[in-house]
Each structure stands twice: as structure tokens, then as C-alpha cells.
Amino acid sequence: MEHLEIVRERLSEGKFDFSHHAFKRSVERNISLAEIREAGKLIEVIEDYPDDKYSPSCLLLGLTVNGRPLHIQVSLGNLEIIRIITLYEPDENEWIDYKERRR
């Protein structure tokens, strides 16, 4: 993805906002702003959704300083403030190395 460095920068600097769904999920799953910023520093794209419903988006994988894996789906419609669509800790039973969906 050509904008990966910008997305990393925005997430790690806290220049993001949440969809209603993402905010609700972050509270339910006890994912803090600090963890999002930590994970955002070295995120990698694991799935790309160029034709997503409202704007192109992608699913990212990042690790917190404590090694907690986080999947963060972000909209690429506005790169000034990244919008988090959803976020969660991936289930090992559904993902191989948190990067590839199990079949």
C-alpha cells in the first residue's frame, strides 16, 4: 500500500478517530488508545479492500509493546485523520500468525 507510512504516522501520533462501531468494540475489548498508538508504529497490511462500501480500506496488524496483536481496519478516504472502522485482538483459531485467515 502506497500510504502505509502515513497511516503508521497518524496512528502512532494519535491522529485517528473511531467509527461508532470501532469505539464500541474498543471499550468492549478493552483496547486502549495507548495500545492503538503502540501497534500503529509498525503496522503491516494483511488485507486490502479497495472497493469497500464507503471508501477504500485495509486490515492492519500491529503489536503493542507487551506483544498483544491487534487487527485494525482503517478507512483510506481521509489520510489527515485516520478513521478506524473496527479493531480486535485476532483469534489464533481463525488466523495463521495473525496474518492469514485459516480455511
The one-letter code for the residue type at 24 is K
The CA distances from residue 99 to 45, 60, 66, 96, in Å, are 9, 9, 18, 6
State the pLDDT at residue 1: 64
pLDDT tens per residue, range 32-53: 999 999 999 999 999 999 999 8
Could you tell me the residue ranges of all domains in the chain? Answer: 4-98
Q: Are 90 and 99 in contact (CB under 8 A)?
A: no
The one-letter code for the residue type at 76 is L
Task: Please state, in angstroms and rounded to a whole number, the distance separating the CA atoms of residues 87 and 84.
Answer: 7
Task: Please state, in angstroms and rounded to a whole number, the distance separating the CA atoms of residues 5 and 98.
Answer: 21
Going residue by residue through the chain, which has 103 residues, state the pLDDT in tens, using 9 for 90 and above.
678 999 999 999 999 999 999 999 999 999 999 999 999 999 999 999 999 988 999 999 999 999 999 999 999 998 999 999 999 999 999 999 999 999 8
This prediction has a pTM of 0.94
Element (H, E) at 18: strand 16-18
The one-letter code for the residue type at 72 is I
State the pLDDT at residue 54: 86
State the pLDDT at residue 90: 97
